[in-house]
Structure 1
Amino acid sequence: MRRTFTWLPWVLLIIVILGFFGWHQLQKPQAPVAADGVKMPAEKLEPLIDTTRTGGVVSYSAAVKVAAPAVVNIFTTQKVKKLEHPLLNDPAFREFFGNQLPDGQSQDPNENSLGSGVIVRPDGYILTNNHVIEQADQIVVALRDGRRASAKVIGTDPDTDLAVIKIDLNNLPVLPFKLSGNEVGDVVLAIGNPFGVGQTVTQGIISATGRSGLGINTYEDFIQTDAAINPGNSGGALIDVAGNLIGVNTAIFSQSGGSLGIGFTIPAKICQQIMNAILKDGRVVRGYIGISVQSVTNDDVFDAKQQTGVIVADVQDGGPAAVAGLKRGDKILKVNDEQMTSPSNLINYVAFQAPNTTVTLSIERDGKPMNLTVGITERKVKSRNSNSQYIPLPR
């Protein structure tokens, strides 16, 4: 009797193990069987996307922890006079009241403006939008760690709506530039100070790259994103999921003033170029040949393959292009053997040429090819373009 109880547990254990393996075998997907009874190979499913690109990210907190400390809030003040009636400007009227305006109009209240900026160098240099700090009498920068400092303007570039300011603080966090590799569909995060509520992070994707011809700035090569961007985000950062700086947020498309999921960001490559030029020369020096151009349309060509180059819409009298013999209606195909694909392509290419140098234009006039040598002069800075549908973000 005792011998029976000795081996019985082992028998039961073996039965349990065999039962487990049998059950596990039944759970495996069985190969489909054809009509003739022959088993067909099991279907092998391949992943639709390469999940290694995103690393299976379910949270972006790591990127935010890296990038957010380098994004600052910018507060500016500007003295304004409230003169509600032209009579208040009359010297005789003011003398009668002893230069004291009635109803307290002699005081100059401060107008507060809110924006954002990005610390890009450990010695305190900050990138922001020109329209955030233009005409400001005082600029105050607030860091995420609670520190505040007055900032001075190092240089501005209204043509790209960028500005460089500087604060004198130690142990500053910095955002590294991501100069390339940004693709439509990549996840991005916008960090800024919308409506002055405090630092805010929103998430979206890159909707498009190379956006131009919008009439926002003179030189345009925007990244478009659907990450929620609102007034106060101007000068803030657009980052990737690793915390790298993709660009500086500058404007939104809106007919109401609110975000419609169409925001525009100045790419990091342009930001870096403008900053380096400002730090080197105190301003941005651009080439200029004195023409306005437009895209080739279906009305200009019969063959779609010929839709290359740009059409000269106007030539400035006495300008470098006019002196070289360029005429309205000419089609510019190449500049220095560089194919021109759009008006913005030509404008940006010429802008990066140094003044007092020359470029060779390969053009087509009345169907005949020609080459012209054009001298480059320095372009004068113009004010920021205005378009009611494209709104500078801080105001």
Structure 2
Amino acid sequence: MLVYDQPHQFEPLLPTQKLAELGETTRRIFDKSSQLKGSASPQARAALREIVRSMNSYYSNRIEGQSTHPMNIERALRRDFSDQPDVAKHQRVALAHIEAERELEASVDAEAETLSSGFLKKAHASLYGRLPEADRLTDDGRLIAPGALRTHDVSVGRHQPPAWQSIPRFLKRMDEVYGRLKGVDAVIYTVAAAHQRMGWTHPFEDGNGRAVRLQTHCALHLISGGLWSANRGLARDRERYYQMLDNADSPRQGDLDGRGNLSEKMLWEWCRYFLGLCEDQVDFMSSMLDLSKLKDRMRAYLLVRGATSGMNEYREEALLPLHTTAAVGAVSRGEFIRMTGLEERTARKVISRFIKDGLLKSDSHRSEVSIAFPLESLGILFPNLYPEAGTAVLE
């Protein structure tokens, strides 16, 4: 059996050929992301960012086969945990992921620093350090120590990760390569390559996939502004994600396949797949935040919600001020009332109902109101963004 114990065995760490194609896609992603970060109001983007954060947690855990329903994640955010032990455990893991992501994002100043092994350890520690010991046990009873490198050899399917004593050497080599990140064109394919090689190394007892996806999210955060998520794309075709990772583990395929021990061609294919996935997510979120289309979906939501709930506060007169909060920003209650054209008492009932249902938010009963996006609204306001949120809770 081949033993990996020398860093040259997982070279190349970056593709070196056909980089123009990867760079062209990268520039498109930067341009589209920049436009996305300027669309809609700051409050609308902030509300959507929180949905993406919850969605990240759901999808990263679903990739591991351990997700809980989005509604249970919402309940966990309110510290409302299920009486069912397995459901409650999944809620705690989901909540830990959300809180870790928020903490890690706040520490990001540049993409290169997020691709370090130190940041990966920090991501693992931030996630697992929030969980009680009972939630950190592997299936065979081993305790996952937050941020600690593994101390024994493991097998992951057909893959034999490096011998545990050699892990620091592999991490050091990645730091040397990924820490030199320079230039816009190289950013996302470097993030992609780091994602694959960090996972290949399997540095922790368990939780490697979650930690690597947290690292990847943070590496893309300055580009995405938290408004689109690679996790969503990866989870929507989990089998292909795993297959592409596995393909990039392949040994070199002849003299024309780079100069390393592993296949440069398959690493390039992984990078192209990852960039295509990122561009698809930017395009999708851009379509979701197209303000004219969002206005049409808001109108539909008001009509459907009014018809199905029997609450007459959901009425078309509320469309203009509601869309204004999404397009421009927070408005005073007086402005909201005037834009409805309704009598004051009726309009105040509309505001109260929307705040109660989570469609608007306000710091006090007199302060401005701003847009929010409750889970139950997503199926109409942002169709296909997070479809699992609209399914029945069966747990």
- TM-score, normalised with respect to structure 1: 0.24
* Larger relative strand fraction: 1
Q: Select the structure of larger CA radius of gyration.
A: 1
* Larger relative helix fraction: 2
Greater length-normalized contact order (CA 8 Å, ≥ 6 residues apart): 2
- TM-score, normalised with respect to structure 2: 0.24
